[in-house]
Every structure is written in C-alpha cells, then in structure tokens.
C-alpha cells in the first residue's frame, strides 16, 4: 500500500523528472535528423556514426526512455528511475559518438531495469496483460544483448519491434477487460502474442521465416485489437477520449499493413521494402499511440494537468498521410516520393512535439504550478 | 469550525471525486470502481483507492487530480491518498449501468 499525503504536491515533485523526459526528446530529435540523412536529404551527418544510430535512437533512446520513465512513475519506486537514466544516457553516448559499446551497454542495463519493474508489478498483480508487457521488456533486453554483442540493427530490429508491440498490446488487453470478454477471446490474444514470440525466436536462426511468421502474428494482433479493444466504443465519445481512440484505430490499420508487408516480403537487410515494413509498424502504429497518449502520459510523468486541443488532429492526420506517401514511394521504388514522405513524417512529429510542449507550459501556467 | 466536526460527508466527497475522469475511457474514478473507501476525521480526508493495474502510467495524474478535487472542499487541511492493491480491481467493480451504456454490445 502506498500513501500519498497532499497529492497536489505530486506535481512539483514530478516536474523534477523533466530532465529524464528531455533526454528522450534529445534522442528523438537526433533520431529524426539521422533518419532524414539516411533517406537522402542533403544535410550534414553531424558526426560519422550518427546515421547508423537512427534506429537505436528512435527505439531505445526515445521510446525506451519514455516507456521506462512512465513505468517507473507508475511503480513509484526510486530504483526504477535508473531505467530511464541509463537508456537516456546511452542515447546521449550514441548521439555524441563517444565510445562504441558503452551506449549499447547502458541501454541494455536500462532494459534490465525495465524488466525488473515488471517483475515487481507481477508480484503485485500476476495477470496475462502484465505478462505480455513483461515479455515486451524481455524482447527489448534480448535484442539489446545481441546488439551489444555486435549484431547489426537489421538483425535485431524485429526484437525491438516486438518490445514496442507487446508493450502497447499488453496495455490494450488491460483496458479491454472493461468489456468483460469471454475467456476464449483472451486466450486468442495470448495465442497471438505467443505466435509473435515464436516469430522472434525463429528470426534468430532463419531471419526470413522469422519476419514472415511475425508478420502473420502482427496481422492477427491488429484484427484482434480492432475487434476487441475499447477504442471501437470510445471513438463515439468526444474530445480527448475520442482523439485517443482515433489514434488507436488508425494505428491498428498500420499494424495490419506492417504485418502484411512482413508476411509477404520477408526479411531484407535494408532498402525500401525494409523501410516500408519497419515504418508501417514503428511510425504508423507506435507513433500513433504516442500521439494519442502524450496528452495524458506527459502530464502524468510531469505532474501537470491533462490537455486537449482540436489542433492535435492536424499532426495526427499529417503523420498518417505522410506515411502513406512514404510507403507508396518505398513500394514503387520512387526515391523522391519516399524522401518527401519521410520529411513530412518528421514534420508531423516535430509539430506534435511543439504542440505538446506548448500545451504543457500553458496547462502548468494556468494552474500556477510553476 | 470545531476541530472535531467533519468538513464533508463521505457522499459529498464521493461527489467531488466524480469530477476526476480517466481520459482514456472517459469515465470518472467512482464509476470505474477505483474508490474503495473514504474516511473523514475533522479536517482530514483519507481516500483508499486503487488503479486498474500497478503498471498504470496514469496513476500519478489520477492521484494529483484526486488532491485537486478534494482541496476544493471548504475547510480541508489534509488529504491522504492510500493506494490499495488488495483486493485487485476487476471490471465487476464498475457501475454496471454506466458500463452497459458505454460498451453497449457487451455484458
């Protein structure tokens, strides 16, 4: 049992976590820059190893730090904050190019802390959805260990994708309890999650089969989520609740698309088809979740009020339309279209970031929490 | 106000807590069944509540909003929020009428 005296003071304490969130945001900005360099925009590389750090910065430096931070806040134990400290610092090492194995080591240790967080949660609540999220953290750690041992990103990116997909899917399974589904529906979910786990394991030995199997699991998961998640109901509400549901449902479309592409195209070590599979899932699904939940997660981490503006639909729609453009360019082999889509993806994310920071500042100012 | 007098009834406090909304679901924390008990002693309010999961990323926000809602009650001097994990929250704790309205095709 945790006691909170004077819960209003939570906000002032929480705002001290802003530097941890800032570490993640710096990784995001550097990740976007290196991504644009990689798709062929004529911008300086800034430092020689930055372009190859695009994936690690986006997945581990930004998303990993954000997820570790929100879980640490939820659990409320001091040691849990070592997770985002380690992954955030690892991200800075990747950006600056200091060392070779040091950044991956810190990120691997950070993922170990996240796994320990889920161990602590499981001791309180041992339910299927927590096991799914814990499996996600395990997938991240396994991917990180293989990366630390020197494997290229394209060999472990499926494990990182598994981390993000299982984390989000576990959260959705948790909320879908409100609908009191029949046990068979939950068993179906567990079966799909297990299939994804099998796909990851197969990928270690036969990458092509692993990608295809994981692709089938992602398609099945997208159908399950579209059918059984609460978003189908909350889309009929209004304001923020409706906006979150819209982000979720659009994300499920991309999860299905990414799964379909992975199942059809299999493994490749780079190039436009690899770009299409990865970005359908990581931008279309994962970033759509981030867009939808940022108005509640950032305030929860920082102790500021929740915010909502109709303007949020602008960056949300821009993200999805620009991703359509990018993937059309990928599949058609049209470099210019792909490059334009990637730039507009980055613009949508920057617009989201600017709107979020502005909304937090406004909300904090209006409640006089400064 | 004499220090032994209660500043609000448990019902008044529950009414105030109905203003704390889970933005993901669009329902308040009383309807969701997250409030287990409320104690009022003089100018101190103690709320025993839970979250749907200890991994809930919104727990910090909800605790803060509980504090914000209760601090509007006149005369309150101290607010204590106790997070309880036993018994674990289950969907059966939700208000069944509201649940049926929000999720009409389900039980």
Closest-CA residue of A relative to B66 is A7
CA distance A197 to A169: 13
A189 pLDDT more than 70: yes
What the block records as the tokens of A83 is 């997770």
A296 with B61: Cβ contact below 8 A: yes
Interface contact A125-B103, CB threshold 8 A: no
pLDDT bracket for residue A37 (50, 70, 90):
very high
Residue A324, chain B, CB below 8 Å: the answer is no
Residue A149, preceding bond cis, omega within 30 degrees? no
- What is d(CA A293, CA A247) in angstroms, rounded to the nearest whole number? 9
- Average pLDDT of A18-43? 96
pLDDT per residue as tens digits for the range B41-75:
888 899 999 999 998 888 888 988 899 899 888 88
C-alpha–C-alpha distance, residues B52 and B65, integer Å? 16
Distance from the B23 Cα atom to the nearest Cα atom in chain A, whole angstroms: 6
The closest alpha carbon to A170, from A233, A122, A238, belongs to A122
pLDDT of B42: 86
pLDDT at site A4: 58
Percent of chain B surpassing pLDDT 90: 39
pLDDT at res. A11: 57
Q: Which of A132, A140, A116 is nearest to A194 (CA)?
A: A132
Nearest Cβ partner for B66 among A7, A124, A241: A7
Kindly report each contact of residues A199-203 with a partner whose C-beta sits within 8 Å and lies 24 or more positions away, as own/partner.
A199/A158, A199/A162, A200/A139, A200/A142, A200/A158, A200/A159, A200/A162, A203/A158, A203/A159, A203/A267
Q: B26 to chain A: nearest residue by CA?
A: A241
pTM over 0.80: yes
CA-based nearest residue to A103, from A164, A40, A59: A59
Q: Which of B104, B57, B52, B107 is nearest to B83 (CA)?
A: B52
**Which alpha helices (DSSP H) does B1-107 contain, by range?**
10-17, 59-70, 96-102
What is the pLDDT, as a whole number, of residue B106? 60
Q: Pairing between strand B35-41 and B21-22?
A: unpaired
If one compares A90 and A269, the residue with the highest pLDDT of the two is A90
pLDDT exceeding 70 applies to what percent of chain A? Answer: 95
Give the chain B residue whose CA is nearest to the CA of A134. B55
Average pLDDT for residues A267-272, to the nearest whole number? 91
Angle (CA) B79 B67 A365, round 5°: 135
Instruction: Give the Cβ contact number of residue A119 at 10 Å.
Output: 11
Please state which of the ranges A34-38, A193-197, A298-302 shows the lowest mean pLDDT: A298-302
Please give the helix or strand (H or E) that residue A144 lies within, else none: helix A128-148
CA distance A195 to A222: 13
- What pLDDT does residue B97 have? 84
Assess B103–A contact: CB distance below 8 Å, yes or no.
yes
B91/A177 Cβ within 8 A: yes
Chain B residues inside the 8 Å CB shell of A181: 106
Q: Please list, in sequence order, all residues whose beta carbon lies within 8 angstroms of the beta carbon of residue B44, skipping any fewer than 6 positions away.
A: B76, B77, B78, B79, B80
Is the pLDDT assigned to residue A370 strictly greater than 90?
no
pLDDT for res B46? 92
Res. A368: pLDDT tops 70 = no
What interhelical angle do A288-302 and A65-75 show, nearest 10?
40
* DSSP annotation of A282: I
Collapsing DSSP to helix, strand or coil, B14 comes out as helix
pLDDT beyond 60 at A25: yes
Amino acid A307: pLDDT: 84
Kindly list the residues from chain B whose CB atom is less than 8 angstroms away from the CB atom of residue A178. Answer: 25, 91, 94, 99, 102-103
In this structure, chain A runs to a length of 370
> Looking at the complex, does the CB of residue A119 fall below 8 Å from at least one CB of chain B?
no
pLDDT classification of A141: cutoffs 50, 70, 90: very high
Least trusted range by pLDDT, from A197-211, A318-332, A337-351, B23-37: B23-37
- Among residues 253-292 of chain A, which lie with CB inside 8 Å of chain B? none
The pLDDT tens digits for A38-51 are: 999 999 999 999 99
Which chain B residues contact residue A234 at CB under 8 A?
24-26, 102
Q: Residue A9: what pLDDT?
A: 60
Pairing mode, strands B78-83 and B44-49: parallel
Name which of B54, B61, B83 is nearest A125 (Cβ-Cβ): B54
The neighbouring-strand residues paired with A3 are: B82
Judged by CB atoms within 8 Å, which residues 43-102 of B form the interface with A? 51-61, 63-64, 66-68, 71, 78-85, 88, 90-92, 94, 99, 102
For an interface test with B, give the residue of A1, A4, A12, A18 to mutate (most B CBs within 10 A).
A4
* CA A342-A346-A351 angle, 5° bins: 145
Phi and psi dihedrals of A5, rounded to 5? -95, 140
Contact list in A for residue B81 (CB cut-off 8 A) is 3-4, 7
Mean pLDDT of chain A: 93
For chain B, give the number of residues. Answer: 107
- A316: exposed, middle or buried (C-beta count within 10 Å: 0-12, 13-18, 19+)? buried
Looking at residue A185, the DSSP 8-state letter turns out to be H
Residue range A287-296: mean pLDDT, rounded: 95
Chain B residues in contact with A120 (beta carbon < 8 A): 54
């Amino acid at each position: 049992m945790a006691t909170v005296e004077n819960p209003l003071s939570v906000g002032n304490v929480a705002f001290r976590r802003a530097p941890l969130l800032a570490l993640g945001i710096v990784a995001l900005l550097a990740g976007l820059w290196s991504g644009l360099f990689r798709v062929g925009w004529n911008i300086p590389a800034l430092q020689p190893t930055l372009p190859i750090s695009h994936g690690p910065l986006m997945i581990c430096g930004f998303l990993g730090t954000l997820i570790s931070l929100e879980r640490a806040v939820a659990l409320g134990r001091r040691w849990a904050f070592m997770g985002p400290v380690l992954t955030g610092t690892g991200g800075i090492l990747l950006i600056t190019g200091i060392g070779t194995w040091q950044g991956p080591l810190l990120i691997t240790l950070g993922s170990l802390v996240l796994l320990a967080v889920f161990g602590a949660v499981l001791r309180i609540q041992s339910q299927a959805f927590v096991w799914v999220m814990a499996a996600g953290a395990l997938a991240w750690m396994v991917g990180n260990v293989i990366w630390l041992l020197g494997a290229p990103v394209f060999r472990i990116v499926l494990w990182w994708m598994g981390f993000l997909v299982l984390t989000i899917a576990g959260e959705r399974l948790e909320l879908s309890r409100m609908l009191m589904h029949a046990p068979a529906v939950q068993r179906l979910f567990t079966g799909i999650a297990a299939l994804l786990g099998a796909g990851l394991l197969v990928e270690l030995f036969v990458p092509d089969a692993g990608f295809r199997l994981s692709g089938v699991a992602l398609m099945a998961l997208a159908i399950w989520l579209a059918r059984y998640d609460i978003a189908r109901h909350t889309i009929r509400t209004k304001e923020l609740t409706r906006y979150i549901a819209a982000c979720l449902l659009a994300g499920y479309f991309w999860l299905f698309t990414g799964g379909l592409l992975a199942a059809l195209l299999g493994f490749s070590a780079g190039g436009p088809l690899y770009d299409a599979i990865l970005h359908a899932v990581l931008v279309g699904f994962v970033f759509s979740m981030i867009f939808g939940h940022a108005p509640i997660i950032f305030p929860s981490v920082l102790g500021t009020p929740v915010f909502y503006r109709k303007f949020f639909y602008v960056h949300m729609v821009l993200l999805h339309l620009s991703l359509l453009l990018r993937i059309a360019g990928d599949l058609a082999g049209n470099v210019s279209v792909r490059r334009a889509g990637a730039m507009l993806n980055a613009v949508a994310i920057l617009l989201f970031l600017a709107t979020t920071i502005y909304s937090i500042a406004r909300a904090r100012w209006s409640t006089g929490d400064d | 106000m004499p220090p032994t007098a209660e500043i609000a009834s448990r019902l008044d406090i529950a009414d105030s807590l109905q203003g704390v909304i889970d933005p993901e679901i669009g329902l308040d924390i009383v309807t969701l069944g997250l409030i287990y008990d409320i104690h009022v002693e003089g100018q101190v309010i103690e709320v025993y509540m839970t979250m749907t999961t200890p991994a809930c990323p919104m727990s910090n926000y909800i605790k803060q909003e509980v504090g914000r809602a209760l601090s509007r009650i006149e005369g309150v001097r101290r607010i204590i929020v106790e997070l309880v994990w036993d018994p674990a929250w289950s969907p059966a704790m939700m208000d069944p009428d509201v649940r049926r309205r929000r999720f009409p095709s389900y039980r």
